[in-house]
Amino acid sequence: MNRVATMNIGVLALVAGTVLAAAPAERDGQTALAVSSTVAEEPSKVAWNALHRTADLSLGESQAVELSDGRKTMLKLVGLEEIRDGLCSAVRAARVKVEVNGQPITLTSATYHLPVTIAGVQIDCPITRGYTQNARTNRWGLDKDARLRLWPADSRWMAPETFVYPVRQRWFASDTQMANDPVFVDGGEVPGNRNIYYHWGLDFGGCEGMVDVVSASDGLVVSAGQDVLPEHKDIPGVSATYDEVNVLDARGWYYCYAHLKSIDAAVRPGQTVKRGQQIGVLGKEGGSGGWSHLHFHITARQPSGKWGIEEGYAFLWEAYVRQHSPTLIAVARPHHFATVGQKVMLDGTRSWSATGKIKSHAWTFCDGSAAVGAKVERTYERPGTYSEILKVADTDERVDYDFAVVQVVDKAAPQQLPPTIHATYAPTFGLQPGDAVTFKVRTFRTTEGEEKWDFGDGTPAVAVKSDGNVKPRAPDGYAETVHRYAKPGHYLVRVERVGHTGAKAIAHLHVRVGREP
């Protein structure tokens, strides 16, 4: 253990020396981060060392990787399969075949996949070459065929005292665009598009102006709005725009928080922030596309020597589970993009139970039909934006819900794109019967029609009208309504709008009222 600890401190000193030395807040020969720590659970220097090791490999290449516990692992990249759609040749699934200490395993890159355990290690694949070939921007710093990350089998993914969940809202409270998924909520999926915006970061949809954004890590504020510390302004991923905050931690990682409606006055360049400290309020400012969300990404040095995205979905998952102790998480993401008549495989296999046992996966579709099974196949006869309900139950009769967004276009009329829709609510935690719940919705690609809410409790439908995203940053772009639930329970809320082509966009939300079961 001593040997490992010494090694880790050495690595940290290197990081601090090369990356933080220029920070003006440095005092007494230590980083400002260490000096300013006041909470009881102060991260040790060892904790600031990343628990994973990263290897970029070409096909056929082998590498010996020394894990964070000092053990060696042999890694070989044996195969790479990238499945592209027929509409814009976007990568929808990238699978790598890897040998870990001689044992074969197939991994799917990012897209809501967590690390898996094999041969004494945990391993994941954040990015593969295909994504970098038709991306709007190559943000990963990957020059080879695939990137792999390795943790010891019994390791956490991130030292718990160094990272928290950066939004004060429920897991999957609204749409998300997690790593490598092409952006879709605001109508980003367009047939024939050859410049795909594979989302390199992590987007959390939320209720505009009503969700606190907090710092995921202790760190030095390097930019807040247009003010930026000059020595950090050229780091890829750090941009000094009015809606954005960037923080540098003691690992040498940069954290970006974008589209903020407001930035906390205490968050100024050169100041330090603590993990959990409020940074601002979730909004749709800057280049949000008009849908209210936190855009969050981490940038770190990658094996290529370049700055690149440090995939954060696993870190978010681990932090959320630790902080909120959910017993069951339904996962029906990522979204799907398909043509009329094409087979779509809905997949709930990434759902999770704290006890390790999920008893059932049940689907309810927008057309009222239903199916049972972790994976189910469907086709769609009409263009539209669908939201298919996944219900998972564990052996103690607890339930959770998630929604698979399916955007369906007509290949014969590719210009007639159906509307897309974004629904949110707040607050998402601690709702009691009688509490006011704010619901906000915005429809994209159409100004026809109006949204109709069904709150799932037998009360009459409520109609509202959002602006169709004509001006993405319009302060009143979302239509707002308030609803109160009379009784505790799980509520499935549906909102829909028919656009100018006659196609419908449907969204669902899952609202919990009363004590957690």
- Residue pair 98/87 in contact by the 8 Å Cβ criterion: no
Nearer to Zn ion, 122 or 424 (CB): 424
Judge contact between 198 and 180, C-beta under 8 A. yes
Q: Minimum distance from CB of 21 to Zn ion (Å)?
A: 31
Least distance between Zn ion and beta carbon 39 (Å): 30
Which of these segments, 289-297, 448-456, 468-476, 488-496, binds Zn ion (CB under 5 A)?
A: 289-297
| Length reported for the chain | 517
Tokens representing 119 are 């041969």
CB of 315 to Zn ion, least distance (A): 16
- Kindly state the number of chain residues that form the binding site for Zn ion, as judged by CB under 5 A: 3
Q: Give the number of C-alpha atoms closer than 13 A to the C-alpha of residue 45, restricted to the C-beta side.
A: 16
Q: Which is nearer to Zn ion, 203 or 208 (CB)?
A: 203
If the CB atoms of residues 20 and 185 are measured against Zn ion, the closer one turns out to be: 185
Q: What's the closest the beta carbon of residue 240 comes to Zn ion, in angstroms?
A: 17
**DSSP β-ladder status, 272-273 and 219-224:** antiparallel
Contact window for Zn ion (CB under 5 A) among 185-193, 287-295, 350-358, 366-374: 287-295
Q: How far is the CB of 499 from Zn ion (least distance, A)?
A: 24
Q: Can you give 349-400 as a three-state secondary structure string?
A: CCCEECCCCEEEEEEECCCCCEEECCEEEECCCCCEEEEEEEEEEECCCCEE
Residue 270 or 286 with smaller CB distance to Zn ion: 286
- Contacting range for Zn ion; rule: CB under 5 A; set: 35-43, 84-92, 161-169, 291-299: 291-299
Where in 384-443 is the site for Zn ion (CB under 5 A)? none
CA distance 143 to 14: 24
Give SS3 for 18. helix
Rounded to whole angstroms, how far apart are CA atoms 379 and 230? 53
Element (H, E) at 85: none
In the bound state with Zn ion, the residue whose beta carbon lies nearer, of 130 and 201, is 201
Identify which of residues 52 and 284 has a Cβ nearer to Zn ion in the complex: 284
From the list 3-11, 195-203, 213-221, 333-341, the region that binds Zn ion by CB under 5 A is 195-203
Nearest distance in Å: CB 289, Zn ion: 9
Region near Zn ion per CB under 5 A, out of 21-29, 199-207, 344-352, 399-407: 199-207
Q: Which of 184, 309, 155, 157 is nearest to 238 (CA)?
A: 309
Structure tokens at 307: 């700055």
Residue 346 token pair? 């809905």
CB of 95 to Zn ion, least distance (A): 25
* Angstrom distance (rounded) from CA 309 to CA 92: 19
Whichever of 201 and 252 has its CB closer to Zn ion, that residue is 201
Residue number, 270 or 287, with CB nearest to Zn ion: 287
Report the chain's C-alpha Rg in angstroms. 23
Residue 37 has, within 13 A of its CA and on its CB side, a CA count of: 18
- For the record, the structure tokens of 432 come out as 């009691």
In terms of DSSP H, where are the helices of 52-211? 129-133
What is the nearest approach in angstroms of Zn ion to the Cβ of residue 297?
Answer: 7
Which one of the spans 194-202, 328-336, 390-398, 485-493 is the region binding Zn ion (CB under 5 A)?
Answer: 194-202
Contact 367, 381 (CB under 8 A): no
Q: Which stretch binds Zn ion (CB under 5 A): 196-204, 211-219, 353-361, 394-402?
A: 196-204
Nearer to Zn ion, 43 or 201 (CB): 201
In this complex, which beta carbon is closest to Zn ion, that of residue 198 or of residue 403? 198
Count of alpha carbons within 13 angstroms of residue 431, beta-carbon side? 26
The answer to whether residues 3 and 250 touch, using CB atoms and an 8 Å cutoff, is no
- Residue whose C-beta lies closest to Zn ion: 295
Hey, which residues between 201 and 240 contact Zn ion (CB under 5 A)? 201, 203
107 has which bridge partners? 96
Site for Zn ion in 294-323 (CB under 5 A): 295
Considering only 24-32, 60-68, 232-240, 293-301, which stretch makes contact with Zn ion by CB under 5 A?
293-301
CB atoms within 10 A of CB 412: 9
* In the complex, minimum distance from the CB of residue 137 to Zn ion, in angstroms, rounded to a whole number: 12
Q: Which is nearer to Zn ion, 205 or 384 (CB)?
A: 205
145 belongs to the binding site for Zn ion (CB under 5 A): no
Q: Which tokens hold the place of 403?
A: 């929604």
Q: State the minimum distance, in angstroms, from the CB of residue 38 to Zn ion.
A: 32
Q: Which residues make up the interface to Zn ion (CB under 5 A)?
A: 201, 203, 295
